Structure 1
Amino acid sequence: MRCSCVVRPDRLALLLFVLSLPAGAQALTFAGPAPGGRAGDSVFATIDDLRGQSRHAEALLLIERRLAHRPDDDDAYRLRVLTLADLGSSRLAAAGLAQRPALFADHERERIEGDAVARRIGWAEVLPENPRDRLAEARTALEELRTLQRTAPRLTRWESTRLRVDALAALNQLHRHEDVAAGYRALLAEDIEVPAYILATVGDSLLALRRPAEALPVLEQAVSHEPGNVNATILLGYAWLELERFDRALPVFAALAASQPARPRRDGAAAGYENWDRYSADVAHAMAHSHANDHARADDMLQALVAIGPHNASLQAAYGAVQARRLRPSAALERYRMAATLDPYDRDALAGQVGSLVALERIDEAADALQALQAIHPHDPRSARIARDLDRHRGAQFALSSASGRSNARGEGTAQSPFGSRDASHALELRSPLLAGRWRVGVVGQQREADFDDIRTRYRGAGVGGWYRHDRLGAAATVWRIDDDDAPGPTAWTLAADWRLGDAWRIGGSMAHRDADASLQARRAGITADSLRLSADWTPDDTLAIGAHASHLRYDDGNTRDGIGVDASTRLHTRPHLLVDALASVHASRGSHGEDAAYFNPSRDASMQLGLRLDHITWRRYGSAFRQRLELHAGPYWQQRHGSQWIPAVGYRHVWRREGGTFEYGVTWSRPVYDGVREQRVALDAGLRWGGAR
């Protein structure tokens, strides 16, 4: 026969807890009222004693027993609320206080209400059952806090300050970082000592607003108050990173990781426990090296962690970020999608997918990924920045370049020099905003000129073009109208296409009718050229690049000129603000008419160059930077019937970069040899680009 009694879960839990207590406490718990009503005094004395020893759970059981027999006992009820608050059950304590507020002093009421709000803010950091509602608890907590400030102003200064401080935590969770910064400044303006527990939160908001100089003293103060706070220490390291002080940041991350054992063990424990602070420190340490341009080391560090915890969403997202910086967008996208599968609401995974899809020229998918990011993290400043980046990529593209040079002959002169005594070139390209996510149309213009024997030869053309780029395929076509008197035929055209085989490989080709890059010496003689070019590039990561190319030019006079070449660069040294690369190139060409042509046309020639490139990041702030670049080259050049001579070259340039645009200019000095005669050449160039699309 089934029992008809009902066991309440709270009573069952109470019974089980009581049975786990010492025998003396159990006896007091189940003791009934003594004759004459004196048992109450004895129970209250025991309760006070237990609370004085911080044995709040045992005290609460005695209180519950008392209230079970005397539910109207105000003293027991008051002690129950206070003891719940002592146990950390602030929400239950606040609910009890609301039923009998007259039993409590103002400072007790304010403390319990403040604890309840703080606890709700704390719970807002936990992922809810429905992740789409993850900010609902924070919004509710903030509204509850504002209601207290509005309807029941705090009578004690500390509790009034506490509500203002706790509001900063809720605002931070809601990504209202400007409000956090304003609230913190208001507290300082009123000479209020801000509690240490909120300083890391304020620092986090200031970093989200990209104000590392303001965040640094706040985070230093937070760490000094609590040196063992791993999250505050990580934020402090990032503040130094964002101030470009890698000499201060990297030791912070290294020391933090070294201070955290992987599996610490409590005294007397049979085994250690998982230390998630060590995980956070290790990931932050790896990402710090990536921010310092050492992506290879960061890759190795994170790869080891991924092998241990492949099902960790934040770790997969971090690894994806490093793959993106290593110029591997497909690999990065794969990691970001793995992270999003593990945690569909991971901000880094959602944001990373947008950037990777843009790099892969899958703009429609990038827009969808951005929409998902904004739906889940609508107030996050990072979402707004990513949206601006995508808008710039989809917007109009602009490129303007100009170059000029002077070549001085040594000895008998250089009638065959392809540059002449003076030369200049100017080019303009303006592309429309992206059409249908794949197409652009625009205008192009170019002018080239050179002086040969004091006679100026010009090539001037303007035209229209169309560009297509989506996923692996890119294609372009332009039609030009030529405006010069040196060569007949007013129309020229170009066709080009490239195909991305993967993250590392890209192949391409182009063909042109009346190629603008053909010899100006030939154009002076009324000779134009058609061209065919092929290329293949292999870039396995950010430290190595090899490109091969071949060209075939067919001039109107029947001469054909074929050339092949390979260019390579590899990283030799990586520092946060200095990158040193080794450079190498090998080129060879031949002309069917040889030196019988009316222009510089070696029958056969070849060159080999070795060099160094020093790239110094002089100043940088997030997406804006100023770089100085020095290139040194030297190597032999051989021309049939004229032997071999060494060719030195030095180039120096400045590169100014701002989010969306780049302005650069430089000077190059070299001593080339043509037909056995050496020249000294100095060239200046400048370029302005906006938009960043290929």
Structure 2
Amino acid sequence: MTGIGSAGDRSILRALAGLGLTVLLATDVAAGTDAAREAAVEAARAGDGAAAIVELERLHRSAPTDPAVLADLVVVLRNEGENERIVEWMEGRAPASLPDYAHMSWAGALRDQGRFADAADVLADSRHAIGPRAHLLYAAALAESGFPDQALEALPAPGTPGLDADEHTLMAYVLRIAGEPRAALRAARHALDAEPGLEDALRQRILALSGVGAAGSARRLADANPGLMSAELHATLVNDHLAAQLREALRERLRRERAGQMARRDEPVEEVLESLQVARLGMDPGGTAFRRNTHDQIFVLRELGRHAEAVALWEGLEDRDAAPPYVRRAVADGYLATREPERAGEMYAALIGESDSPDASLLTSRYFSLIEAEDYAAAAEVLERLVDETPIWLRVPEERPADTPNWERVGVEQLQAMDRAYRNRADQADAMLAERIRRAPANADLRNAHARVLRWRGWPQASVEATQLAELEAPEAADTRLNHAANARDLGDFARWEQELETLERDFPRNSRVRTLARQWEDRGRPAIRGEVEYGRTSGPDDQTGLTGDRDLRTELRLDSPWSRRNHLRAFALHRTEQGEYDDRWLRQDRVGVGLEWEALRRNAWVRLDADRQDSSQLGLAMGWSHWLNDHWNYSLEVDSRSLHTPLRASDAGLDGERLNGSVFWRASERLSAYGGLSLLRIDDGNRRVSATAGATRRLHASAHHVTEGGVDLFAERNSQPGGPYFNPRHSASGSLRLEHDWLTWRDYDRSLTQEFRVSAGMGYQADFGSAAIGDAGYHHRWQLGPRWSLHYGVGASTRVYDGDREQRYYLQAGFEGRF
């Protein structure tokens, strides 16, 4: 057996001694680290945080696996406000790698750096062990991460033991941003009870007051504590207060509307707008409060109908993409009202795309933007969606016995009907509205829409009756009063028109329909001018001269004075010429005249004195009368002592003609009309020319931009003394079928281009020569250059048989009309 003093024993002893020394050394190192760590912590407590951080970082580098060193380093760094260094040290580490007592400092640093979700992750498990303070910080991080519901679940109750005034202040903040301002008020009160002068708590109380709708109290409390709120926060309070005032102003406006106080209904809203404008002057242009104030002004301007100002304010903003939906909606309405439907439509479309279930009013606005942009196909798609997504009935709670009608659906069905009218199918709109009124007879909107369609159909008296029924339900409504004014205009009741317009301009000065009526009334006070010219060339047998000559030219120029408001009279001057080339010699009638015209109550009378420019001693007197008996029947009478209907060759032979004319016009609606006339021309040579005309027109097709009509025209004439120096058969007649098509090729509100196509074909008869085919074709452009000026021009060709010889006439026409 080997002894203790052997060489083997000595090696074992040396090995054991080495092992013991290592253990003793490690123990000594750990003890030294703990002592150094505790010394660093004590230094931090004594106020030398910088030295403590240096020592703890040194210790961490020498003992990187010691969690206590890292935890104390995080706590001291947090106490010294070194949040970035904490984040740097802890990047990529799991919460479990650090003792719980350092989690509050770690999470707090992450939160201060804006990494709210990471802060919540740090405390997700350890908060239960740490206690209420950790729950509070965790809830704050969740709320700031955009999870208010989870934040409210994690939040301790106000008054929880262990929470001091600062922590109740944080609780008030969390409750407020999580959408619970009333609970935030309670938490702020706990904080102020514990420390009455705590500014942060008072600040949260002020903001919570604003959040519960007591914006006025919040603003007064802030004003009573100057310097408490930052300039930006104070501006936010001002905006909140003004927003509350705006809500009250809108309620007051509605109350005044219902009370019939239309002229003063906008005053409360205008006062809020003025306050917003003043407040904005003191705000930082780069701040969020300034931007919100601008947004609110845009909304208020839209409410007041001041759309151009709203659009101008919007276009002055830099960060328009961040604007909330209510602002972009107001701006879209502004673009639509200022006649920029394409821009409005783009904004409406974007708003619709942002919503899973856009409201009916937004889809309606989109519809009108497309109608005004002349995109009727896309408008039809929007209307179809509007109908599909607006239910007839609204679901109600189970305790209610039955579903209730959705009155928004009534508006949608009204729009369906009006859509037909916009597409030139007023007959369908009429029928649809009548049916809906049968189901909802007390609905003033439906009755006013019906009145409007009846007027569009040419039935102002029927429209009056419909408007009177609407008046029983809504006498002060703008639509009711607008219908009264427009009906008075169409009926020639100018005193009523002026009276209605005066009150409409007072109560609804920015309403576009009111402005249109006002412009039309103003136009009656403007001088007017109208001109027409037609040049034709006729080809036929070489040895014959046509009915109108080889070449012919007709012109007419009329100047009108403004209408007198008092007696509804106006003066006019008229210059007319008729020329024709017969056998290489030009024959000419050249008349100038002056007259007086009266118009009122669907009656029109005029008298004119005219003379030949070559022989002013040859005076003529003409008079006329016209009267609409009702919405369907009109008759007119005319007498002219020296009529231009006297053939040119008769005038060249020194003959004059006196003409008597009577006509009647029947109009069932825009879809069907008929006419008839009888005239007598007594020529100085003893000839009595009696002419009769009759015809009818039927609408065959109508859509938004196309209208096609067909008709028949009949003519018969008899001369008592046939022959003579002018075309004068014993009798003649014609009958033809007519087809007309109008294509509204382009329109931009008051400006438009319409292409007109016309063709007719029939048979003509002349005594002693029998019957032959006749025809006519024409193509015209009609430009509406604005609300007061129009221009038209065109070409045409016709074929007739006179005295057995066929003639072809080609002509050019042009004309204009306007008011100065």
State the TM-score, normalizing by the size of structure 1: 0.84
Question: Is the contact between residue 106 and residue 155 of structure 1 (CA under 8 Å) also seen in structure 2?
Answer: no
2:304 & 2:689 partners in 1: Cα distance?
65
1:509 & 1:220 partners in 2: Cα distance?
56
Q: After the TM superposition, which residues 1-16 of structure 1 pair with which residues of structure 2 at under 5 Å, given as runs?
A: none
* Aligned residue in 1 for 2:778: 651
* Deviating more after overlay: 670-679 vs 291-300: 291-300
* Aligned residue in 2 for 1:616: 743
Q: After the TM superposition, which residues 250-399 of structure 1 pair with which residues of structure 2 at under 5 Å, given as runs?
A: 250-266=380-396, 268=398, 269-336=400-467, 338-339=469-470, 342-380=473-511, 382-399=513-530
Residue 683 in structure 1 maps to residue 814 in structure 2:
no
TM-superposition CA deviations, 1:381-401 (whole Å, max 9, x none): 554443223222331121111
* Aligned residue in 1 for 2:269: 138
For residue 575 of structure 1, report the CA deviation from its aligned partner: 1.6
* Deviating more after overlay: 44-53 vs 241-250: 44-53
User: Structure 2 counterpart of 1:646, which letter?
Assistant: A
* Aligned residue in 1 for 2:11: none
* Aligned residue in 2 for 1:447: 577
For residue 613 of structure 1, report the CA deviation from its aligned partner: 0.6
Match of 1:166 among 273, 285, 296: 296
* Aligned residue in 2 for 1:220: 349
Question: Is the contact between residue 314 and residue 320 of structure 2 (CA under 8 Å) also seen in structure 1?
Answer: no
Residue 120 in structure 1 maps to residue 215 in structure 2:
no
1:49 & 1:202 partners in 2: Cα distance?
34
For residue 570 of structure 1, report the CA deviation from its aligned partner: 1.6
1:156 & 1:186 partners in 2: Cα distance?
13
For residue 626 of structure 1, report the CA deviation from its aligned partner: 0.8
Name the CA shift for 1:380/1:98 in 2 (closer, same or farther; >3 Å).
farther
Residue 498 in structure 1 maps to residue 626 in structure 2:
yes
* Deviating more after overlay: 58-67 vs 125-134: 58-67
For residue 569 of structure 1, report the CA deviation from its aligned partner: 1.5
Name the CA shift for 1:44/1:443 in 2 (closer, same or farther; >3 Å).
closer
* Aligned residue in 1 for 2:733: 606
For residue 79 of structure 1, report the CA deviation from its aligned partner: 7.9
* Aligned residue in 2 for 1:625: 752
Name the CA shift for 1:53/1:203 in 2 (closer, same or farther; >3 Å).
closer
* Deviating more after overlay: 420-429 vs 381-390: 381-390
- The answer to which structure has the higher strand fraction is 1
TM-superposition CA deviations, 1:339-364 (whole Å, max 9, x none): 45644543334444443323222333
For residue 542 of structure 1, report the CA deviation from its aligned partner: 2.1
2:459 & 2:530 partners in 1: Cα distance?
26
Question: Is the contact between residue 262 and residue 507 of structure 2 (CA under 8 Å) also seen in structure 1?
Answer: no
TM-superposition CA deviations, 1:95-127 (whole Å, max 9, x none): 666667888777765555433322433444441
For residue 53 of structure 1, report the CA deviation from its aligned partner: 9.3
* Aligned residue in 1 for 2:559: 430
Name the CA shift for 1:378/1:191 in 2 (closer, same or farther; >3 Å).
closer
1:77 & 1:304 partners in 2: Cα distance?
62
User: Structure 2 counterpart of 1:201, which letter?
Assistant: A
TM-superposition CA deviations, 1:600-632 (whole Å, max 9, x none): 223222211112111011111112111110001
2:693 & 2:533 partners in 1: Cα distance?
25
TM-superposition CA deviations, 1:140-161 (whole Å, max 9, x none): 211232333235x369933321
TM-superposition CA deviations, 1:409-435 (whole Å, max 9, x none): 14x7545x4312221111111111112
For residue 405 of structure 1, report the CA deviation from its aligned partner: 1.2
2:339 & 2:292 partners in 1: Cα distance?
27
Q: Which residues of structure 1 form unaligned runs of 5+?
A: 1-32
TM-superposition CA deviations, 1:79-99 (whole Å, max 9, x none): 886666545565566566666
Q: Which residues of structure 2 form unaligned runs of 5+?
A: 1-158
Q: SS of 2:453's equivalent? A: helix
Name the CA shift for 1:196/1:459 in 2 (closer, same or farther; >3 Å).
same
For residue 370 of structure 1, report the CA deviation from its aligned partner: 2.0
* Aligned residue in 1 for 2:83: none
Name the CA shift for 1:461/1:559 in 2 (closer, same or farther; >3 Å).
same
User: Structure 2 counterpart of 1:117, which letter?
Assistant: L
TM-superposition CA deviations, 1:440-477 (whole Å, max 9, x none): 11211111111223332211111211101011220011
User: Structure 1 counterpart of 2:421, which letter?
Assistant: S
* Aligned residue in 1 for 2:56: none
Residue 200 in structure 1 maps to residue 329 in structure 2:
yes
Residue 588 in structure 1 maps to residue 719 in structure 2:
no
1:182 & 1:231 partners in 2: Cα distance?
24
User: Structure 1 counterpart of 2:317, which letter?
Assistant: L
Match of 1:553 among 681, 686, 702: 681
Q: After the TM superposition, which residues 398-547 of structure 1 pair with which residues of structure 2 at under 5 Å, given as runs?
A: 398-410=529-541, 413-414=543-544, 417-437=546-566, 438-484=568-614, 490-547=618-675
Q: SS of 1:146's equivalent? A: helix
For residue 439 of structure 1, report the CA deviation from its aligned partner: 0.4
2:805 & 2:387 partners in 1: Cα distance?
62
User: Structure 1 counterpart of 2:651, which letter?
Assistant: R
Q: Larger relative CO (CA 8 A, sep 6+): 1 or 2?
A: 1
2:734 & 2:783 partners in 1: Cα distance?
32
Q: SS of 2:504's equivalent? A: helix
User: Structure 1 counterpart of 2:363, which letter?
Assistant: T
Question: Is the contact between residue 196 and residue 225 of structure 1 (CA under 8 Å) also seen in structure 2?
Answer: no
Name the CA shift for 1:218/1:429 in 2 (closer, same or farther; >3 Å).
same
State the TM-score, normalizing by the size of structure 2: 0.72
Q: SS of 2:708's equivalent? A: strand
Q: SS of 1:187's equivalent? A: coil
Q: SS of 2:735's equivalent? A: strand
Match of 1:641 among 752, 768, 772: 768
Q: SS of 2:636's equivalent? A: strand
Name the CA shift for 1:61/1:641 in 2 (closer, same or farther; >3 Å).
farther
Name the CA shift for 1:674/1:92 in 2 (closer, same or farther; >3 Å).
farther
For residue 165 of structure 1, report the CA deviation from its aligned partner: 0.1
Q: SS of 1:250's equivalent? A: helix
Question: Is the contact between residue 107 and residue 156 of structure 1 (CA under 8 Å) also seen in structure 2?
Answer: no
1:52 & 1:624 partners in 2: Cα distance?
53
Q: SS of 1:318's equivalent? A: helix
For residue 200 of structure 1, report the CA deviation from its aligned partner: 1.4
Q: SS of 1:435's equivalent? A: coil
For residue 193 of structure 1, report the CA deviation from its aligned partner: 2.0
Q: SS of 1:198's equivalent? A: helix
Match of 1:572 among 675, 679, 700: 700
User: Structure 1 counterpart of 2:727, which letter?
Assistant: F
Q: SS of 2:509's equivalent? A: coil
For residue 303 of structure 1, report the CA deviation from its aligned partner: 2.4
Question: Is the contact between residue 443 and residue 465 of structure 1 (CA under 8 Å) also seen in structure 2?
Answer: yes
Give the CA RMSD over aligned residues. 3.7
